């Protein structure tokens, strides 16, 4: 059964049947990488095997985003709620994240700026140190912003922003009546980055799951039953072509 919000217009294809990318791409595409565990379970494999395949797909798609000219791509790596999962699965995800960080020089070679959002305090020291190194070494790169959300929750982010703003009010640096939406945006983990234009969620689930909830206020949503390890380049092209057919009015006519 087709999912709601999916545009049924036929996307243009080339002679091989591959979806043709639209000329106008969104400024910021967000990805909720969902369905790894189910992908593995369907094949009689442990859930952590699905996370490994999902990680491979992330590496390919993140570089593809850079190559096709996307300026900002954000990926939901691990949520504040994911700690509730079995410890063996959590350990497997963190090990995969460490392996990824160790191999991330390929992004620096392609002048990709790496940005990590979320509460890092619960992460291992080695992860925090490597994340800081990659952010520092890529801070001046301009080809693409690659934003990875690790131990991230949208409500937790807004709470953190509110606390930082409250400190400024308490110190007399900011009047309560001077607080605007821009003030809040400037205190989020994503300060300085554009809001999400297109939010993609594979796996058939129809929710944000606490991901960039402030930044997705005017995002277009794209849902598909395809599980994340199978969400390949052509599936992304399909989502981008679907986005290009939508009309974005931001409350206007």
Q: Please tell me what DSSP assigns to residue 11.
A: P
Q: Identify the residue whose tokens are 């619960």.
A: 122
Residue 36 CA to its chain's centroid (Å): 15
Strands (E), 39-86: 72-79
Residues near 62 by beta carbon (within 8 Å), at least 6 away in sequence: 73, 75, 107, 146
Known active-site residue 34: yes
73, β-bridge pairs: 29, 146
Per annotation, catalytic residue among 7, 82, 210, 232: 82
Per annotation, catalytic residue among 34, 72, 145, 151: 34
d(CA 155, CA 211): 9
Known active-site residue 57: no
- In degrees, rounded to 5, the angle at the alpha carbon of residue 60 between the alpha carbons of residues 57 and 66 is 135
The residues carrying an active-site annotation are: 34, 82
């Amino acid at each position: 059964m087709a999912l709601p919000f999916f545009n049924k217009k036929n996307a243009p294809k080339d002679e091989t049947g591959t979806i043709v990318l639209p000329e106008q791409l969104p400024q910021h595409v967000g990805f909720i990488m969902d369905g790894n565990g189910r992908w593995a379970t369907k094949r009689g494999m442990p859930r952590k095997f699905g996370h490994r395949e999902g990680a491979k797909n992330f590496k390919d798609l993140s570089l593809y985003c850079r190559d096709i000219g996307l300026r900002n791509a954000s990926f939901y790596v691990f949520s504040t709620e994911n700690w509730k999962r079995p410890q063996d699965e959590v350990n497997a995800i963190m090990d995969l994240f460490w392996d990824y960080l160790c191999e991330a020089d390929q992004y620096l070679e392609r002048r990709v700026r790496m940005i990590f959002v979320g509460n890092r305090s619960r992460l291992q020291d080695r992860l925090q140190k490597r994340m800081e190194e990659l952010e520092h070494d890529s801070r001046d790169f301009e080809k693409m912003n690659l934003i990875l959300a690790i131990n991230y929750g949208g409500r937790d982010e807004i709470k953190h922003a509110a606390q930082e703003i409250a400190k400024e009010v308490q110190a007399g640096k900011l009047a309560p009546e001077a607080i605007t939406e821009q003030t809040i945006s400037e205190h989020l983990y994503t300060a300085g980055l554009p809001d999400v234009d297109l939010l993609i969620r594979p796996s058939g689930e129809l929710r944000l799951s606490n991901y960039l909830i402030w930044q997705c206020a005017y995002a277009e949503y794209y849902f598909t039953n395809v599980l994340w390890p199978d969400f390949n380049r052509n599936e992304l092209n399909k989502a981008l072509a679907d986005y290009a057919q939508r009309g974005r009015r931001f409350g206007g006519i």
